[in-house]
Amino acid sequence: MESKRNVGIYVRVSTTNQVEDGYSISEQTDKLRKFCDVKDWNVYKVYTDGGFSGSNIKRPGIELLIDDVKNHNINTVLVYKLDRLSRSQKDTLFMIEDIFNKNDCAFISLNENFDTSTAFGKAMVGILSVFAQLEREQITQRMQMGRVGRARNGLFNGSQVPMGYKYIDSRLIVDELTAPIIKDIYNKYLDGWSLNKLLVYLNENGHLGRELPWNFHVLRYVLTNRTYIGMVGYAKQWYQGQHKPIISIDKFNNVQKMLGERALKNSNYTNNPRPFRSKYLLSGLLRCGKCGSNFDMGISKNSKTGKVINRLYRCHLRSSYHVKMAGLPESSRCTTSKTYSMTKLEQKVINRITKLSFDDGKLSKLLDRNGHKVQDPTPVLNRLSDIDKEVSKIMDLYTIANLPIDAINERSAKLAEEKNSLQIKLKDIEAEKANQGIIDFKKHIKQAPSVFENGTLEEKKRFINQLVNSIILDDNKMTIQWNFG
């Protein structure tokens, strides 16, 4: 037996004289109360928003209604028309899915015979979500067009104003207090200062121009930001701005040239012929077991000849200098002093992977069902799409051909039941796909001997990254976290 309905009636008009489309607040309320009387439902409260637009849900009546729904004072919300709740499909869907459904509260619109407690109503929510998504995309598209238009007109679009400027009346204005710091950074870099020396200088002088300490990424952003030469950017495109430049174009171009030259020099020093691309087998995978930081590569040299005698992996935060450059307190420095020979550590990882590739017993423990074939989800997805189309056709027949509501509800209920069954099946297939990931892992790792014996450095690196999520080093202990499942 159905539990007693405790109803919250919501009424709204957007005009201040309380009349819209021929229905005043009192007329809407009267019709909805009579509907409740016929159904023998209890009216808990009437929530009224007179003189409020339906373009958003920031209304006092709606806020009271939401509170009572969340407190389970009502289990049904009743409106005269859907647009009384909101004229926005996006907001209507939010109210139904995130407020009503999550609190086991039905939503009914009298005029459209819309009831989320029925199969037909549930199907309608799916249709509503399609239009809500379309509405969101249209809003996003309009916003993007507006931002592109602003950029083409030379106006700043960013959420964070670049240091050296203030944002006043929708325009960038040179900040006389911080603009000299930007000029000083460019001048010192052109005078031969390194990025590291600049970082020390800026931080030791009280984080010049910033509340937070300077770090490498912020400094490099300042040195490559075209805003300082009077341009504005949006979506990776740059346009001539209306604001006053802080840096001349010649000076900016000279800095870019010097950045490139220094990057190339550094790549030659570390014996990496591909700048900005790591040539080390385990780069990006190593983590410190004590502090969680990444590892970087260092070198040891012969003190007399200057010749490199060893390459090492080491915790990035073991050095006070790196802690300082990251803008972190000295207490963040890692306690480990251990370094790892690059050659020995890489070979150790290769040996571990190769050994696992031959250990069928250990690999079998990773599998739930060896050799299971995953079902293709395409037919299920196609049928779900067909059901959505059928529901749409049913709605057209209901509104255009005026078919009996009983016939509509019967067909909609069958479609909703089938859709629910297919969605469960789809979840099962997705679960099987996760299991298939383990099977693929086993097939992949079997290639280890061949790859490590015959592959190039890039092929070995790619192969390891496909198998390994991370490698945690804690003194002499090495833990490999695998990419399977």
Catalytically active residues, by annotation: 14
Pairing of strands 477-482, 295-301: unpaired
Between CA 212 and CA 232 the distance in angstroms is: 25
**Which strands make up the sheet holding 114-115, listed edge to edge?**
42-50, 6-13, 76-79, 106-109, 114-115
Write out the two tokens for 449: 């001997």
Which candidate, 364, 345, 372, 373, places its Cα nearest to that of 446? 364
Short-list 244, 219, 220, 221, CA closest to 232: 244
Which ranges of 154-194 would DSSP assign to H, the alpha helix?
179-190
Q: How far apart are CA 481 and CA 466, in angstroms?
A: 12
CA distance 229 to 183: 11
Pair of tokens at residue 126: 């799916």
Nearest to 133 by CA among 70, 89, 182: 89
Q: Which of 107, 23, 13, 100 shows the shortest CA–CA distance to 59?
A: 13
Single out the residue of 374, 381, 292 nearest to residue 332, CA to CA: 292
CB distance 339 to 427 below 8 Å = no
| Strands, E assignment, 409-476 | 468-474
Length of the chain: 485
C-alpha 452/C-alpha 459 separation (Å) is: 9
CA distances from 73 to 45, 56, 95, 234 (A): 10, 24, 17, 49
| d(C-alpha 447, C-alpha 113), whole Å | 62
Assigned token pair, 108: 């009914």
318 and 337 in contact (C-beta within 8 Å)? yes
Q: Which residues pair with 50 in a beta bridge?
A: 13
Q: What is the dihedral of CA 261, 264, 265, 268, to 10 degrees?
A: -160
